[in-house]
Structure 1
């Protein structure tokens, strides 16, 4: 697997939709904003930095996006091709962002009922900050790692 910087495009949007469709099933709610996003919206999120994970055939199989300041890295999105789940792709991408964050605090949120994502963040040493109902019936759990 190769990890490299990427520019948002239709391929990334398709991967994002496929990945968030899995999360929607896990949490029982399809109102996840990135699941509803179109290419125009993805391209307009210009403040995001992106890394992609590529398999041996150079196919995009995962991606991570974050925003950063001098003090904070906000892990905004983590997507993995459903056909490549449980192969360490998400773990490798988050570890790469953590390495780039250095000593800065890293924050991330995921669907409260997305057990695989929660296990991933907890395995990497993130601490739970609590649950928030972002829109009626849609709950997220926030994490931080200092």
Structure 2
């Protein structure tokens, strides 16, 4: 098991990340009953140009999950936390979140998820995040915004 920074600009890595992302977010779409979510519309090119920092979780040499974020001063904004469905319930998401939370110069971490995505909401609450607000995006989708002081 290894967690390491990955270069999303590398096309092969971006393709692998996209495949995991699509599989992971299809599960979320099923949970929330809405499949028009932005991560399902990503392409290799949009990932390569997203400007996020990515860290990957590897078992042997296989990428099984990834987390990405942007930094704004000392605030880490998590954009994606994805695990391949074949690897669910193995602690990979927790390990990725714990790893990036330990990076230097972070005062606060923010993240959002679909309000109806109970597993994700529970996950973030379990990791010390507090719900700040809820925002209705459209008739089918509402997002919950969480934050955590480091």
Alignment TM class, shorter chain as reference: over 0.9
1:7 has 2:7 as partner: yes
Contact persistence 1:67–1:75 (CA under 8 A): yes
Distance 1:38 1:5 in 2: 20
Distance 1:52 1:122 in 2: 22
Structure 2: tracts of 5 or more residues without a match: 9-13
Contact persistence 2:75–2:106 (CA under 8 A): no
User: Can you list the C-alpha shifts for 1:99-142, whole angstroms capped at 9, x where unaligned?
Assistant: 11554110000111111111111111000112111234211111
Q: Aligned residue for 1:72?
A: 75
Structure 1: tracts of 5 or more residues without a match: none
Contact persistence 1:52–1:60 (CA under 8 A): yes
3-state SS of the aligned residue for 1:135?
coil
TM-score, reference length from structure 2 = 0.91
1:144 has 2:147 as partner: yes
Aligned to 1:51, which of 47, 51, 55? 55
Over the aligned positions, Cα root-mean-square deviation in angstroms equals: 1.2
3-state SS of the aligned residue for 2:116?
coil
TM-score, reference length from structure 1 = 0.93
